[in-house]
Amino acid sequence: MIPRQRLLQAPHMTALRDHPALDAMPEGELCALDAFMGFCTEHGVGDPGEADIRAFARLRAQAPKALQDLRGALRHLGLGKDFLIEIAAVQAAVDHQANFKGIPKGRTRNYTRTVSVPVEDLPMDWRQTLRRLEVEGEYAPDILGRMRARLGMFVWSARRAGHPANLANTDALRALYADMRARSITRQQEQAKKKGLNDDIDEPRWAYLRSTWEELLRFARAHGLPEDVWDKLTITYSMLTKREGKQAAQKLAKAKAAGTRPELLKRAEAMLAEAETLKLPQMRHALRNRAAAIALGCAVPARPGDVQAHHVLGAGITFEPGRNGYRFHYKATKTAGSTGVDIDIPLLPWWNKFIDAVILQDDDPRYLGQLRGKAASEKRPLYVQYDGTSAVYAWYSRMWKIIAGTGGHIARTLIRDEPGAAGVQLANKLNGHKPGSPTARKYESEDLQRATVLEGQNMMASLFDDEDEV
């Protein structure tokens, strides 16, 4: 603790140095008073109110106990009752936020395991290969996670059918195929019933099966399985790929149901305005976060992993005062069909309101610059929960599902379709897809094929500052 005399010698304490109450003031209260007086001097606050106390609490990371000490110090100085009530209100808000119990603290990506086995139950040599792949870093974490999950599903199906968990065993592979086909059909039927639609569905989503065989192929190559195993998996994979190509892409139907980017942006603006009318601070916080997730997803479509890893203030997201706008700049997660290229998107000032809102929250706009700087210096995730903890992996897609009816990945389709042919070029860059690759082609819809080539269009201006869209 700073010695009492040193605190009293600080320039910002000059006006109070001879106050008789200081002699008997407890050390904790004196330290709290010193911090507050220093804050007021730094920010030119001559007549502080509740907004200034709130900003002080955030910028100086004041705990409820420190605010209690401040209230005690100001009571000893004889300040008016109204000001003490304002400090008490801020103290209560900080305490409520710090101890809020309505937010799950762990990952919500976990699920109840019913049709797979955990990694620990995979064959020992398989686990060794998976660990090697993790160390070597050839595949992105999302791909490795999917590979583990699909191998777990294979082992579960093989054992359930009474076959050895061996990728060379045709009967075991057939068991996996049958299980996945049945699950896909059942899932579609259940979804159709919920929507009151025709549930007479007898065809699986071939993409679901194709992606599984894709991971089995990856693993077979990495594990060094014999050529005949590779050939067997390749034949099935090729067949599934053809069937998937003939099946109308589900994501495109979802994109139509989700609405256009202009429609989603208008909803995001409406949510931002609605947040100001809500009574509970945690609800205001949540709605601002949701509005930002939707709006920024339209501008910078991102995988949940990239949102969690790179949508960080002062790192993947920076503010550029010279042009009064934010920039998203990071290397996107590399996946199949992806180049792992740099995402470098300078957003025009129109988008500031969404990021500023999640930074500022209920604080006075006068303190936006300081709060923005603090968030950047701390490398704060863009999306934090009301209690200050980082949003979990699944949060981003969950917000999109609430608003658009499908996960955040759909923004990657919307960004491709809406600007027309120029959007294809930009979307390939934003999504990290090689032009003309199978992955890139999967995102193209019939609407895009009919779009007029927008010669000479400034893609960035059109995408992020088109008055017709926002």
pLDDT number for residue 165: 95
Cα 337 to Cα 440: distance, rounded to the nearest angstrom: 7
pLDDT in tens, 93-139: 888 887 776 655 445 444 456 899 999 999 999 999 999 998 888 88
- State residue 156's pLDDT score: 97
Q: Which DSSP category does 260 fall into? A: -
- Check: CB of residue 410 under 8 Å from CB of residue 399: no
Model confidence, pTM: 0.59
Q: Which residues of the chain have pLDDT under 50?
A: 105-106, 108-111, 255, 257-258, 336-339, 408, 410, 416-433, 435, 440, 443-470
Token code pair at residue 286:
């949540």
- Report whether CATH 1.10.3720.10 matches the domain 256-465: no
The rounded mean pLDDT for the chain is 80
- Rounded to 5°, the CA angle 421-426-427 comes to 90
Number of DSSP helices (H) and strands (E) in the chain, helices first = 22, 3
| Per-residue confidence (pLDDT) for residue 138, from 0 to 100 | 82
Q: Which residues contact 167 (CB under 8 A, 6 or more apart)?
A: 154, 173, 216, 219, 220, 225, 229, 233
